[in-house]
Amino acid sequence: MHSPTAQAALSETSLKNYIGGRYVNSAGNEQFNALNPATGEIICNVQQASEADLEAALASAQAGFQLWRKMTGAERGRILRRAADLLRERNDELATLEVLNTGKPIQEAIAVDIYSGADCLEFFGGVAASIHGHHYQFGANFAYTRREPLGVCAGIGAWNYPIQIACWKSAPALACGNAMIFKPAEMSPLTAAKLAEIYTEAGLPAGVFNVVQGDASVGQWLTRSAGIAKVSLTGELSTGKKVLAAAAETLKHVTLELGGKSPIIVFEDADLDSAVSGAILGNFYTQGEICSNGTRVFVQKSVLEEFLGRMASHAKRIRIGNPLDPQTQMGALISPEHGQKVMEFIERGKSEGARLICGGQRAMVQGCEAGWFIEPTVFADCRDDMTIVKEEIFGPVMSVLSFEEEAEVISRSNDTIYGLSAGVFTRDLARGHRVAAALEAGTCWINTYNVTPVELPFGGYKQSGMGRENSLAAIEHYTQIKTVYVETDKVQSPY
């Protein structure tokens, strides 16, 4: 059954690949369904890119690249900024699609997801005209560097922030003069295609941004193809390892945005209400399906019980409901399989001795009986060796641990293979900076959590990733430097 709300926002019943500036019927005949996680309804079917489609996307991207790289940065920037304006104008339509396809609450998608993508296009639209090399003097001789694009880049997305991820990858790539083939996650295929339409409407030449649909096999094709210069993945650690290994065959440039098991440290002098709000934000926003979430909450022993009391009363007030209801604060997890996996973690937490403070159950939502809604879940008395403390859950499950000393909590915080982010709550700012410096994480927040403006680099230490997205740092990852040395005199032969 096709959802009427989805149809109003989508207008197509079969989503095609977007190649060469338009939707193209697949040369193959494999299809899959885009589902509404809250209801289990089919939103539309999606044409999986066949090998012939992928070859066509590559040829189109290569042709687009030759045109695009010759345009000035200012021209490229204007198109990106126009696309940013179009994204903002269509916020309601795009946010609705994002909610239908991910299960996240509409209040989040309306306020953050599309605007964050638009901010990214605007930022890199502004940067495009200032990407430049350097000049060097060697007596009468000189040299200069050119900062050149890499070529055709592949973007491979996760399902939790579909349009934001497509923007975070495409905007810097395009600003630097590259073309991109983007593959959204198979569970959230809709809005990347909408982004492609918007780029075309903003004046992007055909072929510069293509969207191919499909599962891991499409991602594997992109990662293996010799015609692709770079791959940027957002996904799980295990996928990151496979992508890195496959990219090694053709020595592609690689950016990886992977998982995390980030710490939030609450010192006894912290503003406790603020710390509770930060931990709520860092665990239950988007049903906990956020890579940077601070799922290991270390609270100094003297304020632990007070923290847990305030946390439980706050968490219980979170409204679970139909994601399209503007009052809903927590929506549906992406799929029944994922919901069941999160419930298994909760059972494991109980059986390994963690104390359930609140939540822990699947919640039923009227009209969304097929959806997997899970109550905001808080465990106390957690130990560092518990499964829920060690493994990424990607759901609304917070583990609270107690600590006594600063050095101890730094060492325990760093005792993980991941290093995406970390939070410190304290009124002692000298300590805040000292602890942030000692934490092994790509982003540290002091007295807040999960704030990611496009001006700032975002990415992981250790096994949370390689490279950085956003900010001027992303330019490094979508360009290569050519050195040109110029002799102004006659060359003397040494022989």
Residue nearest to ligand NAD (CB): 219
37, 149, 219, 278: which one contacts ligand NAD (CB under 6 A)?
219
Q: How far is the CB of 337 from ligand NAD (least distance, A)?
A: 10
Report how far residue 277's alpha carbon sits from residue 149's, in angstroms, rounded to the nearest whole number.
Answer: 42
Q: Quote the CA–CA distance of 122 and 112 in Å, as a whole number.
A: 15
Residues 176-195 that bind ligand NAD (CB under 6 A): 183, 185-186
**Would residue 305 show up in a list of annotated catalytic residues for this protein?**
no
Region 142-171 residues binding ligand NAD, contact defined as CB under 6 A:
156-160
The yes or no reply on residue 37 touching ligand NAD (CB under 6 A) is no
DSSP state of 469: B
Q: 242: burial class by Cβ within 10 Å (0-12, 13-18, 19+)?
A: middle
Q: Which residues pair with 15 in a beta bridge?
A: 46
Nearer to ligand NAD, 330 or 380 (CB): 330
Which candidate in 291, 358, 368, 382 is catalytic? 291
Q: What angle (nearest 5°) sits at the alpha carbon of residue 278, between those of residues 276 and 281?
A: 110
257 belongs to the catalytic site: yes
Q: Tell which one of 349, 395, 465, 467 touches ligand NAD (CB under 6 A).
A: 465
489 half-sphere exposure, CB direction, 13 A CA radius: 7
Residue 291 annotated to the active site: yes
How do beta strands 362-363 and 230-234 pair?
unpaired
Residues that contact ligand NAD, how many (by CB under 6 A): 30
**Least CB distance from residue 434 to ligand NAD, whole Å?**
26
From residue 249 to residue 288, the character string flagging contacts with ligand NAD as x (rule: CB under 6 A) and all else as - is: --------xxxx----------------------------
**Closer to ligand NAD at the Cβ: 219 or 432?**
219
- Nearest approach in angstroms of CB 350 to ligand NAD is 23
Specify the residue, 107 or 225, whose C-beta has the smaller distance to ligand NAD: 225
Burial 269-279 (b: 16+ CB within 10 A, else e): ebebeebbbbb
Specify the 3-state DSSP secondary structure of 305.
Answer: helix
User: How far, rounded to the nearest angstrom, does the alpha carbon of residue 266 sit from its chain's CA centroid?
Assistant: 26
234 touches ligand NAD (CB under 6 A)? yes
Binding segment for ligand NAD (CB under 6 A), chosen from 5-13, 233-241, 279-287, 373-381, is 233-241
Site map 408..447 versus ligand NAD, x via CB under 6 A: ------------x---------------------------
Smaller CB separation from ligand NAD, 86 or 397? 397
User: Applying CB under 6 A, which part among 80-88, 121-129, 238-246, 280-288 lies near ligand NAD?
Assistant: 238-246
What amino acid is encoded at 315 in this protein? A
Q: Give me the least distance between CB of 98 and ligand NAD, in Å please.
A: 14
Q: Which two tokens stand for residue 392?
A: 């990424």
For residue 234, with 0-12 CB atoms within 10 Å meaning exposed, 13-18 middle and 19 or more buried, which class applies? buried
Site string for ligand NAD, 46-65 (x = CB under 6 A): --------------------
Contact 295, 285 (CB under 8 A): no
Q: Identify the residue whose tokens are 């496979």.
A: 242
E strand or H helix at 324 = none
Residue 229 binds ligand NAD, judged by CB under 6 A: no
Pick from 103, 149, 235, 323 the residue near ligand NAD by CB under 6 A.
Answer: 235
> Which of 291, 354, 357, 475 contacts ligand NAD by CB under 6 A?
291
Verify whether residue 261 is a known catalytic residue.
Answer: no
Q: Look at residue 453 and give its three-state secondary structure.
A: coil
Buried residues in 148-184 as b, exposed as e (16+ CB within 10 A)? bbbbbbbbbbbbbbbbbbbbbbbbbbbbbbbbbbbbb
* Closest alpha carbon to 297 in 374, 396, 399: 399
The set of catalytic residues is 169, 257, 291, 469
Residues that bind ligand NAD (CB under 6 A): 156-160, 183, 185-186, 215-216, 219-220, 223, 233-236, 239, 242-243, 257-260, 291, 392, 394, 420, 460, 465
